[in-house]
Structure 1
Amino acid sequence: MGLFDIFKTQWSAGKMTPDDRKKLFWYLKRRTSYTAWKRAADAFDAFAVIFKKQIVEEPHAKGLMDGTYWEPYYSEILKAQVLYEQGLELLLQGDRNVWLYNDRGILGDAGTIANSWYSELVNNGARGDHFYDGKYVDEMTDAIKVFDIASRDAGYIQSMMADAPAPECWTTFWHDTFAKLPIPGQLPDVPIPTSEVLIKTNDEVAVFGIYEPQVKDGCMNYLLAGAPAPKLEVTDGTYVVGQPISVTWRLIWEDTRYFDGAIPEEESLYFPIETKIAKPAVVPTLPDSQPSAATGEPCPQSGNWVVLDDINGKQAFQKGERLPQYQGRDVIWLLVSS
């Protein structure tokens, strides 16, 4: 330690124990893993299968009022599925920009659509006045609840609010959380950085990874490269007790997972078999894959098609017809009904 190091702000233990710190590090790696995101995407796929059954078997569900016409909503479901698929493919290449709040943050976009259906079916919309009719509504509601649980275990998306504090802070909440997790009995020590990377609140985060605020009981957080480093909630180790404060964040672990396309072996233990989200069985009346084609390609099947990134861009095409641009740009078209 240099002479002036004693004057630097540093992490120190209060109510957080070394064992707590190990568990927190494990938790952050688990939550930002490919496995956690794949589990959430699989849960949404299971919901989408039931949604499609509703469209196929009862496209217009009669109710007290006009009932529910389900087909117009299906393009949203397809878009979320495609975004999850694309995002997972990029993540498995080590591209974590899919978590940012910009045009590359496609996992955030997927989650926005998927979570909107939790709001609609479980909370009856933002104002509680949306109600849906259909033979599979109860089953869809149960499935979206399963998705919600899985999505809470998946990752950190850059906040839309520039001044949002770090998502995690140290309180007694963590002891309840740890008790419910399949944490291995023997955890490795939290790594000691080989080089010193310090970032102050509002500075741009240098690399994706786990950072630790240099204050008493500073709670590690996973920070996103390119985003501004956040403030930290003030706690007394039990409760949040004040307004968020500016801190210095120290890089503990740079996330270099998946650059080789491999999933670390430890991820097989993140979600025990009894809590894994099963891949949905294919409904016999449905095609194995959703037809899609790009601008300039011949339409492979007659029917109604939508633009992947604009659910309002719905048009009817005949088989063999050249698919056009949409609003002056090349797009991907998805078949929603034939």
Structure 2
Amino acid sequence: MEADNLSRVYAILSTYNKGLDELRKGYRFVWRIGQPLFDAKRESEVMLTNFYRHPAYWERGMQMEPYPPRIEALNRLMLASRYQGDQSPLEIDYSFSHLGTCWPNPGNLLNPSVYNYGFHELPYPVFPPLLPEVPVGTDVFIQSGQPVPVDRIWEPVKIRQDRLLGIIPLGGKEVANNGCFNYLVSGTQAPRIAEYNEAASRVEQVDKHWRLLWKDDRYKDGVIPDESEYFHTPDVVAQKPQKANDLALEVRTGEVCPVSGLWAAKGYEVLPVLLTVGTVMPNLMVPDNFSEQRVHWVTWHLVKPD
């Protein structure tokens, strides 16, 4: 690991704690550009893409090969705090024409395949069995580039009104959904949204009307609500062993060994290995078609607890 990473880690943690203290007071400006939680999020992304720059595993900000077990154990600790959508409240710099809203469509949140990043997978959110109806939209509208008056969830909409001779408005306005809901922070500029221009065969940032939907009163009483139930899937909870002799237990290379005992690599005819609780599950050296030893990440299952 690079020694310079340590100072970056401490700086991120310090900035995060500062932002959390401000958020606890109800100050959502911490997500604006140059403010603590904005900086903590962006710096942690830099840390994530430059975590282990050994040329055998990393190139140009991308992980190319599975990390060694001890490096992967640290990587997993860092990934444990990351979720799909955690950039949602960050301010969008409206001065850049190529930057648009975080969520132009719901697919990046609801499609399970986008949670897979090749060498790691983020947990899919847990949705309640019954979801409340979307509230009736308010009469508060803003346009891209205008200041956001309140911290809320906003809906991009298309506004249509019949006009006499194309000039004089007739009757009431017709409002229809025109994109994915987004969380907008007070004081920021309402963002554009990405749309595909078929005539030009390219994605463009388009100005939109935004309508106020959900009210958000969290944090104002000095309490950070516990919302962890939305980030832990039932499958993950079910995998936690209740007893040391749970022979159905399985873990992957790079994860922490939960039970001391003999572990066998699933799908490989190799002798089981004796591992101690708390150690990192190893990878496996397996010969390829040319009899060269190659590193494989494998699933280990417990065959005999110690």
- TM-score, normalising length from structure 1? 0.49
Q: Does 1:142 align with 2:79?
A: no
Q: How many residues align?
A: 199
Q: Does 1:101 align with 2:33?
A: yes
Q: Contact 2:154/2:212 (CA < 8 Å) preserved in 1?
A: yes
Letter in 1 for 2:20: L
The counterpart of 2:51, out of the listed 88, 107, 121, is 121
| Contiguous gaps of at least 5 residues in structure 2 | 116-123, 159-176, 238-306
Equivalent residues in 2 for 1:258-297 (5 A)?
258-264=219-225, 267=227, 269-272=229-232
Equivalent residues in 2 for 1:51-130 (5 A)?
70=3, 72-102=4-34, 105-121=35-51, 124=58, 126=60
Alignment deviations for residues 189-232 of structure 1 (CA, whole Å, 9 cap, x no partner): 22235x52110111111111111111344221111211111112
- Aligned residue for 2:219, secondary structure, equals coil
| Contiguous gaps of at least 5 residues in structure 1 | 1-67, 277-338
Equivalent residues in 2 for 1:1-338 (5 A)?
70=3, 72-102=4-34, 105-121=35-51, 124=58, 126=60, 136-147=70-81, 149-150=82-83, 152-153=85-86, 155-160=88-93, 162=95, 163=97, 164-170=99-105, 172=107, 175-177=110-112, 180-193=124-137, 195-215=138-158, 216-234=177-195, 242-264=203-225, 267=227, 269-272=229-232
Q: Contact 1:233/1:244 (CA < 8 Å) preserved in 2?
A: yes
Distance 1:116 1:86 in 2: 19
Q: Contact 2:125/2:233 (CA < 8 Å) preserved in 1?
A: no
Alignment CA distance shift 1:270-1:205 (3 Å): same
Distance 1:145 1:229 in 2: 30
Alignment deviations for residues 119-152 of structure 1 (CA, whole Å, 9 cap, x no partner): 12256364679xxx999434323333434x4375
Alignment RMSD? 3.8
Identical aligned pairs, as a percentage? 24
Please say which of residues 256-265 and 220-229 is displaced more in the overlay: 256-265
Distance 1:171 1:110 in 2: 25
- Aligned residue for 2:111, secondary structure, equals helix
- TM-score, normalising length from structure 2? 0.54
Larger proportion of helix: 1
- Aligned residue for 1:157, secondary structure, equals coil
Distance 2:42 2:212 in 1: 29
Q: Contact 1:117/1:144 (CA < 8 Å) preserved in 2?
A: no
Alignment CA distance shift 1:230-1:160 (3 Å): closer
The higher relative CO (CA closer than 8 Å, separation ≥ 6) is in 1
Distance 2:11 2:225 in 1: 29
Larger proportion of strand: 2
Distance 1:224 1:120 in 2: 29
Moved over 6 A (4+): none
- Aligned residue for 2:231, secondary structure, equals coil
- Aligned residue for 1:121, secondary structure, equals coil
Letter in 2 for 1:99: W
Distance 2:194 2:147 in 1: 19
Distance 1:153 1:79 in 2: 19
Q: Contact 1:200/1:246 (CA < 8 Å) preserved in 2?
A: yes
Please say which of residues 224-233 and 169-178 is displaced more in the overlay: 169-178
Letter in 2 for 1:146: A
